[in-house]
Amino acid sequence: MREITYAQAVREALTEGMTHDPNIILIGEDIGLYGGVFKVTEGLLAKFGPERVRETPISEAGFVGAAVGMAMTGKRPVVELMFMDFLWVASDQVFNQAAKMRYMSGGRVKVPMVIRSQQGGGRGNGAQHSQSFETIFTHIPGMKVVLPATPYDAKGLLKTALREDNPVIFIEHKLLYNTRGHVPEEDYAIPFGVADIKREGSDVTLVSLSRTVLFALEAAEEASRDGVSVEVIDLRTTVPLDLEAILKSVRKTGRLVIAHEAHRRLGIGAEIAALVQEQAFDYLDAPIARVGAMDVPIPASKTLEDVVLPGKSHILDAIRAIVS
């Protein structure tokens, strides 16, 4: 099977989706001639023209609001936000309009739109360009929330998102774009709400998502040298959440670590910990461990960023703490 980058996988999904569905329109800042700030949409303007790859002013509230209207009237807009941090400028359009319109209309109005953006740290971009927001989107009913960790998952999940009749928040990570992985050339899609067991194990369940999955796999490999078998589960989506996959693994291992790059306080790890405590408490042999970013703004300094953001060592420490 061929190997391509995460960015190429996303571009392929967009290209194939736009080729088969003329209602899919891309909209965002610098996505045409420049090809997007991370070059994901490079070449799409030449292929599909300015009517379907639409450059916008620097006005997230304006073009996200326009996309909501487009979705309500028959189009399938794919919005690219340069940084996920900028979504707050369009928060009313997303949280109060896109997420609620189908429910408030009794199902008569669909909002089939995808909001694509990247989040997370690791590049020294500072506090306003390095945040992770999946928990906030997960908290608001009415949207699907997707966080692929590999090129294979990125393409397959985006193909599903482009066919979805509800708004989808499709969260990429800025440091995943150059990672490579196997992606088949034939058409495929990955359903939402199906977690992926990236590594099987018997002693500890390690649940993660997005870029942190890569650190989780590294930590699991190192733990194996100490004789600890770690099962790594990649959530892939937080809405819908594949809780059954987590519970099944915990019932087998008796121990749970949840790792994500978002701030630890009230992160998705807190919700998963509560759900497991409610539904699988009798299977736990140790307290649930959560690993996340420190509850401070993400620093621009690389040295400080390495302290604030979780990595392999933080996850490994959590594993060792609950098996000791």
73, with CB counted inside 10 A (0-12, 13-18, 19+), is exposed
DSSP β-bridge partners for residue 118? 172
Neighbours of 100 (CB within 10 A): 17
The amino acid present at 207, given as its one-letter code, is V
Which helix (H) or strand (E) is 262 found in, with range? strand 256-263
CB-based contacts of 13: which residues, under 8 Å, 6+ apart? 154, 155, 156, 158, 159, 162
Which helix (H) or strand (E) is 9 found in, with range? helix 6-20
Query: For this structure, is 129 an active site residue?
Result: yes
Q: Which of 17, 6, 23 is nearest to 44 (CA)?
A: 17
User: What token pair was written down for 227?
Assistant: 């004789």
Cα(209)–Cα(272) distance, integer angstroms: 12
Q: What is the DSSP string of 262-311?
A: EESTT-HHHHHHHHHHHHHGGG-SS--EEEEE-SSPPPSSHHHHHHHS--
Q: What is the DSSP string of 76-108?
A: EEEEE-SSGGGGGGGHIIIIIIITTHHHHTTTS
Marked catalytic residue, from 20, 129, 260, 263: 129
Cα(313)–Cα(72) distance, integer angstroms: 46
**Cis before residue 240, ω within 30 degrees of 0?**
yes
Cα(46)–Cα(34) distance, integer angstroms: 11
Return the residue matching tokens 């506090």.
Answer: 127
Residues designated catalytic: 129
